[in-house]
Amino acid sequence: MKTAKSLTITYLTPVSFASLNGSDKEADNISSIKKISRETEQFPYVSSQAIRRALRDQLAVLGHELSEGIAAAIPHGAATTLQRPDQYIDDDLFGFMGTTAAMDGQRGQSITRTSVVRVSPLISLHKYEGDLDFGTNYMGVKAGGDPNIFETEIHSGMYRGTILIELDRVGCGEGFKDKEGLPNSTKATRVKELLRAFKNLWSTGRQTRFLADISPKFVAGALLKVKNPIFLEGLLPQDGGINVSILAETISDYTDELIAHVYGARKGMFSILPDNTLSIGESFDVMAKWIDSCYE
């Protein structure tokens, strides 16, 4: 386990009725959702920025103090965080970029920490069919005036996403004043807390009228000696279940790099599953034990 360099998890989540991660309005009365085009079809997605924000917010829900946003130290610079990865879990796992102002004849410096957590967009495997929800806004309507009618793009389908955690960079390296970084026990705790946040993934965007559950319903997790999201394109639904042959081939192809793998699924949601598939909770417990072994 101590040779592990990364933990990667690819997941599926079915969404029955949602307007996830809306983009700018295409017209005054239409709120669109983000989509990517493939040939003549469009597929909705939740941006990686939104997933990272959702994970960060869930860490706060779980009781972690997050690094507060502060103004840039130089004119016209971008706002950043407190840049204290030793103290704040989000600065450690999600990184930051900041600058220091020039002082006493010394040039300003750039301070960065590349994110330890790599995130793909959450992309629908089903195309957008043009569905719209119609709504009426009565707020601000004067006596005798007409309410404002608006439309919101909605979608139903299976979504797939991936995260990869660089285990050898947690709690050390860029941004840390102490080269040795944090104790191994703290590193393990931070990764396990991220797993808790991921298991309970929930985005606040457009949830007032379109409450949706995007937490994982099927997961394929792998502990690796390399950094490679091996399931990213290899996890596919098939006939109401999972395409197990592609998963088996993936495991076979990466035998030399693979330390351990696990599958987890919500009972009754998939008709075909790989052998030895655990429940979602059990699979995350297995991955948490991997993490403890990695940082012993």
On the question of pLDDT at 175 being above 70, the answer is: yes
pLDDT level of residue 228 (50, 70, 90 thresholds): very high
In contact, 5 and 226? CB cutoff 8 Å: yes
Structure-block tokens of residue 125 = 């495997």
- pLDDT tens figures, 29-87: 788 899 999 999 999 999 999 999 999 999 999 999 999 776 455 555 566 788 999 99
Residue of 280, 283, 277, 270 whose CA lies nearest to 237? 270
- pLDDT tens figures, 249-292: 999 999 999 999 999 999 999 999 999 999 999 999 999 999 99
pLDDT score of 18: 85
**How distant is the alpha carbon of residue 166 from its chain centre?**
14
Is the pLDDT higher at 204 or at 268?
Answer: 268
| Other CB atoms within 10 A of residue 145 CB | 9
pLDDT level of residue 140 (50, 70, 90 thresholds): low
Residue of 137, 153, 136, 169 whose CA lies nearest to 43? 153
Is the pLDDT higher at 107 or at 280?
Answer: 280
Average the pLDDT over each of 9-23, 134-148, 210-224, 245-259 and give the range with the smallest value: 134-148
Average the pLDDT over each of 64-68, 102-106, 221-225 and give the range with the smallest value: 102-106
pLDDT level of residue 151 (50, 70, 90 thresholds): confident
Q: What are the residues whose beta carbons fall under 8 Å from the beta carbon of 80, sequence distance 6 or more? A: 69, 70, 72, 96, 97, 98
- pLDDT tens figures, 231-243: 999 999 999 999 9
In contact, 268 and 279? CB cutoff 8 Å: no
pLDDT level of residue 127 (50, 70, 90 thresholds): very high
DSSP secondary structure of the chain: -TT--EEEEEEEEEEEEE-TTB-S-SBTTEE-B-EEEETTEEEEEE-HHHHHHHHHHHHHHTTPPPPPPB--SSTTPPPB----TTT-HHHHHH-EEEEE--BTTBPPEEEEE--SEEE--EEESS-----EEEEEE-TTPPTTPPPEEEEEE-EEEEEEEEEEEEGGGTTSSTT-SSTT-S-HHHHHHHHHHHHHHHHT----TTTTTS----S-SEEEEEEESS---TTTTT--EETTEE-HHHHHHHHHHTTTTEEEEEEEE-TTS-SS--TT-EEHHHHHHHHHHHHHHHT-
